[in-house]
Structure formats: C-alpha cells, structure tokens
C-alpha cells in the first residue's frame, strides 16, 4: 500500500512516523519543497532570538526519517487529483497514492490587518514565517 504525505513544516513527520509504526509494510513518502533539506523548528526559537540557544539546535535534517523507512521527495507539490489519486510535482512527476495526508501549512493575507504588511513583518517578524531573520536555515 502506498501512502503519501504532502506537507510543509514539522507536521509531516508525525503522521508519517505514526503510519510506519502502525504498519511497517506501508510505503510512506513525504513531499518537501524545502530546497535546503534542513528543517528549522519554531518551538523554542525565542531562545535563539535572545541568545540562549544556538540556531543549530533548531535545525534538523531529514535523514532520520529515511532511517525510519520513510521516503522524502524534495520537490514542490503542484496539484492533487483525487479522481486519479495522484500528486503532481513541480517537475511534472506524478506520484500515485492510496491515502493522502495533506498539511499545506499557512500563509499570510497581508491586506487583512490595516497597518500590518510584508514590510512591517521585516521589522516585527512573525514566528510562522520561515523568513524570520533570526531563524533562517543556512
């Protein structure tokens, strides 16, 4: 059986590992668009900002998932076709799935709050945004 987890951030590891533990015979794949292949975690990043923790302590490679038997495909997922049960990647590769876990993450609507803009976020960064100058991955 093939199961695909298309995700952003730290969420894909949890369902992928849970599926593998429940049934080690499953083929579980995470599609990750992060080109650095390094995940920078937000929890405890406030300690990095104030100098109590090194940024390296917040950064994790995806190698551990591979050692758990989880495949990681470093590509951007462009679309999902529920009729054919496929995920199309940025390079037009199609991945078939039996079950799909979607965790696309969040983004901002900069015009939703008067006075808060992308420029304002550079001065007062939001923790959800990976572009935070304190938490950038390599």
Residue 87 lies in a domain: yes
Cβ–Cβ < 8 Å for 126, 132: yes
Range of the domain at 32: 2-108
Residue 96 lies in a domain: yes
**Spatial CB neighbours of 133, under 8 Å, sequence gap ≥ 6:** 122, 125
| Predicted local confidence at residue 136, as pLDDT | 47
What would the two tokens of residue 108 be? 């901002």
d(CA 11, CA 83): 25
Q: Which of 64, 62, 63, 100 is nearest to 81 (CA)?
A: 100
Asked if residue 80 belongs to a domain, the reply is yes
- List of the chain residues with pLDDT < 50: 8, 130-134, 136-138
In whole angstroms, what is the distance from residue 33 CA to residue 21 CA?
25
Domain membership of residue 132 (yes or no) is no
Give the number of domains in the chain.
Answer: 1
Q: Is residue 138 part of a domain?
A: no
**CATH code for position 73:** 3.50.50.60
Looking at the domain assignment, is residue 39 inside a domain? yes
The pLDDT value recorded for residue 59 is: 85
Kindly report whether the global pTM for this prediction surpasses the value 0.85. no
Domain assignment present for 127? no
Decide if 117 is inside a domain.
no
List of residues 6+ apart from 98 with CB closer than 8 A = 1, 2, 3, 85
């Amino acid at each position: 059986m093939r199961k695909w987890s298309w995700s952003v951030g730290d969420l894909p590891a949890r369902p992928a590992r849970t599926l593998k533990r429940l049934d080690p015979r499953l083929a579980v794949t995470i599609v990750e668009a992060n080109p650095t292949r390094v995940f920078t975690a937000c929890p405890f990043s406030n300690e990095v900002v104030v100098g109590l923790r090194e940024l390296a302590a917040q950064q994790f490679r995806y190698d551990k998932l591979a050692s758990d038997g989880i495949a990681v495909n470093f590509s951007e997922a462009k679309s999902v076709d529920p009729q054919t049960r496929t995920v199309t990647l940025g390079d037009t590769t199609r991945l078939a799935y039996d079950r799909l876990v979607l965790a696309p993450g969040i983004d901002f609507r900069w015009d939703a709050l008067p006075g808060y803009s992308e420029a304002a976020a550079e001065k007062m960064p939001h923790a959800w945004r990976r572009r935070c100058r304190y938490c950038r991955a390599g």
